[in-house]
Amino acid sequence: MPHLSTKVMNSTNFDACPECDLLLKPAQPKIGEKAHCPRCGLLLSRPHKQSVERTFALSIAGFILFFPANFLPMVGITVLGNVNTGLLMSGVLALFNDGMVAVAIVVFLASVLFPLVHISLSLLISGHLYFNRPNRNLAMWMRWMLHLDEWVMLEVYLLGIIVACVKLMAIAPLKFGWGLYAFIALIIITTMLTSGLDSGLFWQRIEQLRKKDNHEC
Amino acid sequence: MNAKTNALAQGFIRCHDCGYLVKRVDHPATCPRCDSLLHGRRPHSLQRTTALLFSGFFLYIPANIFPIMNVNQFGVGDPHTIAGGIIELFNSGMIPIGLLVLVASILVPSLKLIGIGLLLLCAHFRWQVNARKWTVMYRVIAFVGRWSMLDIFMISILVDLVNFGAVQIIAGPAATAFAAVVILTMFAAENFDPRLLWDNQQNL
């Protein structure tokens, strides 16, 4: 990286690496290519084809799947003729009834509330971008969604289900319900959502919409 | 002090939330694109990370000593600690799953506490290191943190499913401590600013 003179700089002509703060010329990789920071190796951008359209479609699918994943039974266990079936929420309630309020809240947030908010925000944002509708909350929604990303732990929950099932299989026969299949589909969709989201493109589009809105006012 | 090639040293601040690069100003300012507050580096990064790391470290002790769940069979309780649950998995021949839980609930949290501690020492004492390797270490720590919640989710499922008059599983006090450790270390990793590692390198 050559030393750059401060005088010729304009804030829009440069970029900085989020993790090592190297001043960069903005990389503009083509679709399917990746741009890495030359100094620390961080993946800077990886544009996907039709990111807005794909995000919009996946958010709709995820939003619909959220409900069967939460309200249909996932795993059933039979002991001495008694059948117990588990839902996402019933695990939270069981912890709550045992007096583990803090753990119940954490599980509720990471496996029910945050995924719902995340998908709703993604639906709102991509919907506004898809139909070119300006909204002054767009930037705020986008910030919330990016901050929430790490706290949506559906795939960790799935691993928890697998470990729990392996432990229970030794004790009693298990039955898997439609809720579990919907849940797995929901995880595939949220993973595709987060990996296919081109946040650079989204911020550019949000900025364009804001300018358009200011122009019309 | 700052490495000359860094954007901050050249008079630019990168917005934390949207990545917009703006000219550095002396007064508090917000990002013109997303309205979030601009900071050259994460505010009080080292202090906050240290505080969160120490709280996580102290809670890690009860998380490992106390039982994470109790298996009640016909009125007789059988407490399991985190390590006990893994040993049981190994003994019953479920080695891959046992290894998975071993990694997620013992190796990851303890290596994470050590790793964040090292990152803090490195940034504070301005060690001259291969900053690229240390940044990769930071990235790994930030990525794996959430997977430790595995144990907590597993317990919520077991508590829910195994609830028959005679046989019951009840969550133990270590569950709260362990969940707190995972969340505190996730916040610690989020508050640590890896760019501090690069600021301290004099040979860039």
Lowest mean pLDDT among A116-125, A182-191, B31-40: B31-40
Q: Which domain range does residue B75 map to?
A: 45-194
Can you tell me the distance from the alpha carbon of A18 to that of A168, in angstroms, rounded to the nearest whole number?
44
Residue B14 sits in the same domain as residue B90: no
Same domain, B26 and B53: no
Residue B145, domain member (yes or no)? yes
Co-location of B132 and B97 in the same domain: yes
B56 with B151, same domain: the answer is yes
Cβ contact, residue pair B18, A170, below 8 Å: no
Q: Which residues contact A109 (CB under 8 A, 6 or more apart)?
A: A151
pLDDT at B180: 95
Residues B77 and B132 in one domain: yes
B199 inside domain: no
What's the gap in Å between the CA of B195 and the closest CA on chain A?
A: 5
What DSSP state is assigned to residue B75? Answer: T
Q: How many domains does chain B have?
A: 2
When pLDDT is cut at 50, 70 and 90, the band that residue A210 belongs to is confident
Both B60 and B150 in one domain: the answer is yes
Residues B13 and B99 in one domain: no
DSSP symbol at B30: B
pLDDT of residue A136: 86
Question: Do B180 and B165 lie in a common domain?
Answer: yes
Nearest to A39 by CA among B39, B191, B195: B195
Q: Are residues B51 and B36 in the same domain?
A: no
Name every residue whose Cβ is closer than 8 Å to that of residue B72 and which is 6 or more positions away in sequence: B78, B167, B168, B169, B170
pLDDT in tens, B102-135: 999 899 999 999 999 999 999 999 888 888 999 9
Q: How far apart are CA B28 and CA B8, in angstroms?
A: 15
For chain A, positions 175-204, list CB contacts with chain B under 8 A. Answer: 199-200, 203
Q: Domain for residue B201, yes or no?
A: no
Residue among A86, A93, A110 minimizing CB distance to B149: A110
A160 CB neighbours in chain B (<8 A) are 149-154, 156-157
Tell me how far apart the alpha carbons of residues A58 and B194 are, in angstroms, rounded to a whole number: 33
pLDDT in tens, B57-107: 999 999 999 999 888 888 778 888 999 889 988 998 888 889 998 999 899
Give the Å distances, CA to CA, from A29 to A46, A50, A134: 7, 15, 27
Q: Are A132 and B63 in contact (CB under 8 A)?
A: no
CA distance A152 to A181: 18
CA distances (Å), origin B202, targets A37, A189, B6, B77, B131: 20, 45, 12, 60, 11
Does some domain include residue B204?
no
Co-location of B33 and B108 in the same domain:
no
Same domain membership, residue B33 and residue B55: no
pLDDT attached to residue A122: 95
Q: Is any Cβ of chain A less than 8 angstroms from the Cβ of B51?
A: no
Domain shared by B54 and B29, yes or no: no
pLDDT for res B5: 77
| Helix (H), strand (E) counts: chain B | 8, 6
Whether A23 sits inside 8 A of B5 (CB atoms) is yes
